[in-house]
Amino acid sequence: MYSIISELLEEEVFQCYSFAYEVKLSDIFLNQDICTEIEKKFIKQPRSSVDFIIFNKFDHNPVLAIEVDGTEFHLNNPKQLERDKKKNEIFKKYGIPLLRLATHQAVIEEMIRQQLLRLTEIKNSLNKL
């Protein structure tokens, strides 16, 4: 996955983005004013992280989070599904898309490309205003 994202971000259209992997939620969500107490506690847990975060190189704001979910682990683990739900809600509150990819998906690169293209189109539209 690291290689796929690295190669994608080398494409000219995505030159404005960079990424990091295994990023703690507490490093992404510094201001937690809009979170519930349960969400704040979840964010502060040392193991609460996201697999990859793609961010704008210029302002370092996150534009896309990516989670790679092991199918068996996630489908058969109610506690993990509950953690995933909390994480989804937190990212949604902050307006950061969270792309969940199953490890068995063969079209991972294309899914990431399409999401980044949508984000780039939105950004370019806003810049023209």
**Structural domains of the chain, count:** 1
Contact 87, 25 (CB under 8 A): yes
CA–CA gap between residue 19 and residue 5 (Å, rounded)? 8
Q: What is the span of the domain harbouring residue 92?
A: 2-128
Contact 74, 81 (CB under 8 A): yes
- The arithmetic mean of pLDDT across residues 112-116, rounded, is 87
In this predicted structure, what is the pLDDT of residue 30? 95
- The arithmetic mean of pLDDT across residues 105-122, rounded, is 81
Burial class of residue 63, CB neighbours in 10 A (0-12, 13-18, 19+): buried
**Residue 105: pLDDT over 70:** no
CA–CA gap between residue 2 and residue 59 (Å, rounded)? 22
User: pLDDT digit string (tens) for 65-104?
Assistant: 999 887 555 566 788 889 999 999 999 999 999 999 876 6
Mean pLDDT of the chain: 89
